[in-house]
Amino acid sequence: MSNASEPLPASSTAHQLTIFKQQLGLHFPTDWRLAYSEQSGNMFSAEFVPQQEMLTSWSSLYCIQGFKGMADGIEPEEFLDTFAVNYQQVCEGEMQYNKLGATQIEGKESFSAMLTCSKMPHTHKGKSGQGVGMGEIGHYTVISGSEDLFLLHQSARGEALLSPTTQLSLSIEPPVKMVSDIKTLR
């Protein structure tokens, strides 16, 4: 995971997000942009994609979601299990849920997993994108702060992912590698 004291790669851009009055620094390749951000009640969501891509038709996506006050109500693994059930309902093909396990990230409990779908529709907030569904693979990490729960994921979509055999040989960087300092999240 990146650390605030490590120098940033020359080809990255820093983004500062405010999640429930908490500052979080993220680092992306220079050709990425914030495509969507919303706080509604006790939920926050921000999604980043490459400059030329749209949320209804992306090849790479990074998302962070915050859930205010949920840290005491659900364990990270249980949250991810529930998320996987919802993911399976959206997936129009074969889905795999591979648990990577529990870890501590800067003193916070977390749980990570890989989710794959051989045919995921192109939609965002009910809006459909162009073309047929694509294969998708994502690395998901749930982090439990002292108060809030956070879901970070980095995903990729593409034709090559339609084959379940190809999915098994792919991997995605853990989403926490984009975060400069998890300690700021409570």
**CB-based burial label for 17 (10 Å; 0-12, 13-18, 19+):** middle
The tens digit of pLDDT for each residue in 87-140 reads 999 998 899 999 999 999 888 899 999 999 988 886 655 555 556 678 888 999
Q: Compute how many other C-beta atoms are within 10 angstroms of the C-beta atom of residue 95.
A: 20
pTM of the model: 0.81
- Whether 10 shows a pLDDT value over 50: the answer reads no
Give the dihedral sign, CA 88/152/18/107: positive
The tens digit of pLDDT for each residue in 45-100 reads 999 999 999 887 888 899 999 999 999 999 999 999 999 999 999 998 899 999 99
Q: How far apart are CA 110 and CA 122, in angstroms?
A: 29
- Whether 1 shows a pLDDT value over 50: the answer reads no
State both tokens at 8. 């940033």
